[in-house]
Amino acid sequence: MSTDFGALQAGELIPFAFPEGLAEPEKLLAAFFSSSTIGLCILDTELRFLAINKTLAAMNGIPAGNHLGKTVREVLGDFADVVEPQLLQVLATGNSVLNFEVTAVFPGTAEPIYAIDHFFPIKNANGAVTRIGVVVNEVTGERKLQESLLDATAKIRKQMQSLQMLLEVGMILAENWNVREVFPRISACIRRALRQEYAGFSLQDASTGLLVRQAEDFPLSRGFMAGVQIYKGHSPGSLAMSERTPLIFAKQDLQTFESEIAMQLLAEGLQSLCCIPLLRPQAPLGVLVLGSTRKDAFHPEDLTLLSQVAQQLAVAIENHRAAAEIGVLKQRLTAERRYLEGEIRSKDHFAEIIGESPLLKGVLDEVATVAASDATVLILGETGTGKELVARGIHRMSRRADRAFIRVNCAAIPTGLLESELFGHEKGAFTGAILQKIGRMELADGGTLFLDEVGEIALELQPKLLRVLQDHEFERLGSTRTVKVDLRLIAATNRDLERSVKEGEFRSDLFYRLHVFPVRLPALRERREDIPLLVRYFVRRFARRLEKHIETIPKEAMELLKNWSWPGNVRELENLMERSVLLSDGPVLRVPLSELQVRSTAADPSDHTLDTAEREHIIRVLRETNGVISGPNGAAQRLGLKRTTLQSKMQRLQISRQEYFHRGR
């Protein structure tokens, strides 16, 4: 039901609700409610006023607005004892109560009011009474009563019948937009009001412009129209469509048309025809045609009602077409998506990421979903989990795949140089700036910018990065000219940025800008079933590079590899496999198992947290390298970590120089 209770100014109609989808019922009520001699109101099943015209309100001696929402008893007082039984009878039986005579004196009236009341049930599509229409015809004498009673009753019945018919048609179409399927039911609704023998509708073919019959309801047909599907030539229906207005034709009018359909209608014995175009803002869709064997069966006053029915049909036809088109598009989209997903897999955008575990596959499916968009992606995960590989895969699957992929390691560049590296600088912007430099932001214009270790960006530089994300513009160092860029940002970090925000080390607004689509890469220990695949992959790659022939991997070595915590993740495993291939002299892989023995003498034996295991492992390697961190033989290389990453881990895990250097000497 509509909830628009705006008053109808022209019809003096106090607000009332009507079913959605009905275009003109308000006008029907307004035309009747405007009567200055006949009072009318509509009650709900609790006998509360839903609508009342000014005529009846004047009879009651109470302003019209004061009726709404109140019961009959609250308005009429003891006089309700007279009318309530009649109203309840209508609700109980579903039948009308007509010609109920009343005499009453209401507040504000000096003389008794003599009136004839009529109570009509208003039913829904299921036949249940949902409202009661009340008509009060005030009379001053018997003669006036006799003169007006029949006319008023007939008019009321027709109006109520028209309104009921519109309600039923609207409900039918609300259940099913396929007008062709429900047309017999709609024709039956119209027949109760207009008594037509023939009803049909045709739609215009977009390619030929001809009318094509869609459905007919003609119980008394003699068979002359059987098989006729396309209406060629100038016909009554095409004339109504071209003029975009309802038309009524008598028998002599039909005889002037030379079209086949006109001759067949005459052969069927029809003497009256009414054609109503199915209008929509873009163009007429078709025509609704009603026919009768009676002369002058259709009148100009019927056209308003039929135009409302035609409008409902046109809206339903348009909705049905739109739904069908959406269904086709969905099917096509599903097929294209399946094809594209197959293409994505076939192109191996993630060929460098090895693994079949459900956890890893779930992450890659998320990445494939976001890759086609330009959304900012934040890749989270420990060092060595493959964040850069995922970022490159996203770029290869995006619409920017043929443009540049620019990588910036924010932890590897000193803070003082990072701004110049990202945004560029002008000649003379600072000491040593002897030439203009184009920053990584400009190089990534049209492509993808990958900020690795984004959590290491200094606080003073973060607002400038935030501006690029928000406005896609910045200025080079030493310049006042704004540079516009169109880039897709992918960021990665092994830090807990939420904790950094709480500790004031990272701006919250920048974090939320980066956190549009977070992707967390699982640590290797979380997908241990992938370790054998990774081991075989790395062994084959390094054996081919080093021209060695490795055939087998000892079972005990594989079990130990599967059970190791891998604080350095895939990168640590990769480096270990390279050393293993180097150490192997024959066809059997020789894994330096001593490197995987956890020494935790300095830790509490009951402490089995991952941080503790990682801390002890780093301390052990640092002792073995005599405290050397960088270089080909340094701890970072052996752990499969970058120097800056190892230093960050040492700071986070509070590993002091005294713990590994002096004890290891």
pLDDT tens figures, 69-80: 999 999 988 889
CB 404 within 8 A of CB 443: yes
When pLDDT is cut at 50, 70 and 90, the band that residue 443 belongs to is confident
Tell me the fold of 25-174.
Beta-Lactamase (3.30.450)
When pLDDT is cut at 50, 70 and 90, the band that residue 347 belongs to is very low
- pLDDT at position 598 is 45
- pLDDT at position 88 is 94
More confident residue, 653 or 14: 653
How does DSSP classify residue 65? Answer: G
Would the pLDDT of 350 be above 70? no
- Of the candidates 238, 264, 270, the residue with the CA atom closest to the CA atom of residue 251: 270
When pLDDT is cut at 50, 70 and 90, the band that residue 33 belongs to is low
CB 492 within 8 A of CB 394: no
When pLDDT is cut at 50, 70 and 90, the band that residue 508 belongs to is very high
- The CATH number of 179-322 is 3.30.450.40
How far apart, in whole angstroms, are the C-alpha atoms of residue 481 and residue 324?
53
More confident residue, 355 or 24: 355
When pLDDT is cut at 50, 70 and 90, the band that residue 487 belongs to is very high
Would the pLDDT of 310 be above 80? yes
When pLDDT is cut at 50, 70 and 90, the band that residue 489 belongs to is very high
- pLDDT at position 17 is 39
- pLDDT at position 337 is 54
The average confidence (pLDDT) of the chain is 80
- pLDDT at position 194 is 82
- Share above pLDDT 90 across residues of the chain, in percent, rounded to a whole number: 19
CB 360 within 8 A of CB 523: no
pLDDT in tens, 101-150: 887 766 555 566 778 888 988 888 788 899 898 888 876 545 445 555 65
- Among 249-253, 335-339, 591-595, the range with the most confident prediction by mean pLDDT is 249-253
- pLDDT at position 6 is 36
- Of the candidates 640, 635, 538, the residue with the CA atom closest to the CA atom of residue 581: 538
pLDDT in tens, 592-604: 877 765 433 333 4
- Of the candidates 356, 403, 342, 384, the residue with the CA atom closest to the CA atom of residue 573: 384
- pLDDT at position 93 is 92
Tell me the fold of 358-520.
Rossmann fold (3.40.50)
- This prediction has a pTM of 0.43
pLDDT in tens, 403-417: 889 899 988 888 778
- The CATH number of 523-597 is 1.10.8.60
CB 104 within 8 A of CB 112: yes
Would the pLDDT of 639 be above 50? yes
More confident residue, 111 or 652: 652
Q: Which of 31-45, 169-183, 502-516, 606-620 has the lowest mean pLDDT?
A: 606-620
When pLDDT is cut at 50, 70 and 90, the band that residue 454 belongs to is very high
Would the pLDDT of 539 be above 80? yes
φ/ψ of 57, rounded to 5, equals: -60, -40
Average pLDDT over residues 231-254: 85
Q: What does the block give as tokens for 128?
A: 């249940």
- Among 373-382, 553-562, 594-603, 648-657, the range with the most confident prediction by mean pLDDT is 373-382
Q: Residue 38, class by beta-carbon neighbours within 10 Å (0-12 exposed, 13-18 middle, 19+ buried)?
A: buried
Rg of the chain over Cα atoms, rounded to whole angstroms, equals 42
How far apart, in whole angstroms, are the C-alpha atoms of residue 112 and residue 63?
19
Question: In whole angstroms, how far apart are CA 89 and each of 3, 42, 121, 304, 475?
Answer: 29, 16, 10, 33, 82
Would the pLDDT of 520 be above 80? yes
pLDDT in tens, 202-240: 888 877 778 888 888 888 777 777 655 677 677 888 888
pLDDT in tens, 576-633: 999 999 988 888 888 887 776 543 333 344 445 667 777 888 888 888 787 888 877 7
Q: Which of 170-174, 334-338, 359-363, 390-394 has the lowest mean pLDDT?
A: 334-338
- pLDDT at position 605 is 44
How far apart, in whole angstroms, are the C-alpha atoms of residue 341 and residue 347?
10
Helix axes 569-583, 531-545, angle to 10 degrees: 50
How far apart, in whole angstroms, are the C-alpha atoms of residue 117 and residue 41?
11
How far apart, in whole angstroms, are the C-alpha atoms of residue 468 and residue 486?
10
More confident residue, 220 or 307: 307
How far apart, in whole angstroms, are the C-alpha atoms of residue 113 and residue 98?
18
More confident residue, 36 or 273: 273
